[in-house]
Amino acid sequence: MKTARNGYKWELILMLWFAFFLNQGDRQVYGAIVEDIQTALGLSGLEAGLVVTVFTVVYGCLAPFGGYVGDFLSRKWIVITSLIVFSLGTLFTGFAGAMGSFALIYLIIMRGIATGAGEAFYNPAAISLITQHHEKTRGTAISLHQSALYVGIMASAIIAPLISKTFGWNYAFIGFGVFGLLVATYCIFRMQDTPQIKEQTERIPFGELIKGIFSKKTIWLLAFAFGCQVFVNIGITTWAAKFFNLKFFGGENLPMASSIAMLTSCGFAIFGVMVGGRMSDKMAQKSKLARMYTEAIGLLFGTPFLLMVGWASNIWVAGVAMSLYGIFRGVYDSNIYAAMFDVIDPKLRASSVGILTAFAFIVGCLAPIYLGAVQGDGTSIESFGWGISSLGLFFLVGGLLIAFAAKFTFLKERYEEK
């Protein structure tokens, strides 16, 4: 029986990995071919960015409710329902071209609202499932799950532009949407219901949740740092492919530009997240501050390489800078929730994931509009590059906030698990 349980906890990671792969892959389809979408539908940079901003706001506003219900409802069915809803939203996004003058409104509804709402409920329930099955291997398990984020983005960056170029931009959305529905069908039959922690079988008043989470100074500091990371992440995934295409390929090779931008940043992030997870798990046996230090290192060391991306004079320099940024972003990502859980009561963890995710995404929601406005009509590459480089300042601020928390608040507020 013990062997079966141990086997299942890694099988669960595999199923959640594919679900998270699609969660992120579906999201990145838009960023990978945003240039083609703009051309086909006649959208300005500001309008194209608005779609992602609406998605981010919807995601952020609903994430707390995803965490809240994840503390007392079946997490299996929350994950599966989320997967079905965002897959349908992605599939129907592919029909925006048939909407004529209403295409932008349709994109906002399907891409921004439907897909954003579906994705908002996934992560809190999934992370809570992982932490329930993985105690001593929590950092490693979350890191493995987190790797799906990077692989999903990379897969979209390569596949979506190729589909767009060969068949049309709409088929990229339709293809990813159908694949998501197939994965959801598999999970219905293979994923097991997981008993809730005893205290989680009853609803905790929402006001009590907020107080239990945000009464700690460490959480505030981690939340703002997370918001800085999300701002950078959304900015890069939405606009880096177009920036690379315009600056280094003269606007003539979006598939290559998208592939390089995401393979470097996300491919090396996989290495960073695995190193960060293993390193923090081992260091945590000796130092209570291990996970905080790991997060601070990720953001502070990633700062100069973000600055280099926008200033790079050729694709090789930009690729190296994106790769090094990816490594340190992965180091930070490996402990986003693991560090937070060190100061959170276990019965509030699913809710805390939702609330902290909401906070971070609302902080980061303006990145698509900001970079969309900076690029203007797409002819000012210098302004576009300056906007990309300015994202490094957000990493710097986030890293300093975490360092401050590690120095002054974390040890006073740490939750000692029995």
Residue type, 333: D
**Cα pseudo-dihedral 215, 218, 219, 222, rounded to 10:** 160
CATH architecture for residues 2-413: Up-down Bundle (1.20)
H helices of 75-137, in order, are 75-93, 103-107, 115-120, 122-133
Q: Where are the beta strands (DSSP E) in 249-295?
A: none
Q: How confident is the model at residue 388 (pLDDT cuts 50, 70, 90)?
A: very high
- Residues 14, 18: Cα–Cα separation, whole Å: 7
Check residue 137 and give its pLDDT.
67
Check residue 417 and give its pLDDT.
64
Check residue 1 and give its pLDDT.
36
Q: Are 193 and 129 in contact (CB under 8 A)?
A: no
For the cut 70, the answer to whether the pLDDT of residue 164 exceeds it is yes
- Residues 349, 236: Cα–Cα separation, whole Å: 29
**Ramachandran area for residue 43 (φ above 0: left; ψ -120 to 50: alpha; else beta):** beta
- Residues 124, 356: Cα–Cα separation, whole Å: 10
Q: Which of 28-37, 137-146, 192-201, 356-365 has the highest mean pLDDT?
A: 28-37
Instruction: Encode pLDDT of 218-240 as tens digits.
Output: 999 999 999 999 999 999 999 99
Q: How confident is the model at residue 124 (pLDDT cuts 50, 70, 90)?
A: confident
Q: How confident is the model at residue 347 (pLDDT cuts 50, 70, 90)?
A: confident
pLDDT mean across residues, the chain: 87
Q: Which of 136-150, 188-202, 313-327, 367-381 has the highest mean pLDDT?
A: 313-327
Check residue 5 and give its pLDDT.
59
Instruction: Encode pLDDT of 55-80 as tens digits.
Output: 999 988 887 777 677 666 788 889 99
CA-based radius of gyration for the chain? 20
Counting residues of the chain whose pLDDT is more than 90, the rounded percentage is 53
Burial class (CB in 10 A: 0-12, 13-18, 19+), 1: exposed
Coil, helix or strand for 334?
coil
Check residue 350 and give its pLDDT.
65
For the cut 90, the answer to whether the pLDDT of residue 199 exceeds it is no
Domain boundaries along the sequence of the chain:
2-413
For the cut 60, the answer to whether the pLDDT of residue 198 exceeds it is no
For the cut 90, the answer to whether the pLDDT of residue 171 exceeds it is yes
Q: Are 397 and 363 in contact (CB under 8 A)?
A: no
For the cut 60, the answer to whether the pLDDT of residue 386 exceeds it is yes
**Cα pseudo-dihedral 289, 290, 291, 295, rounded to 10:** 100
For the cut 50, the answer to whether the pLDDT of residue 21 exceeds it is yes
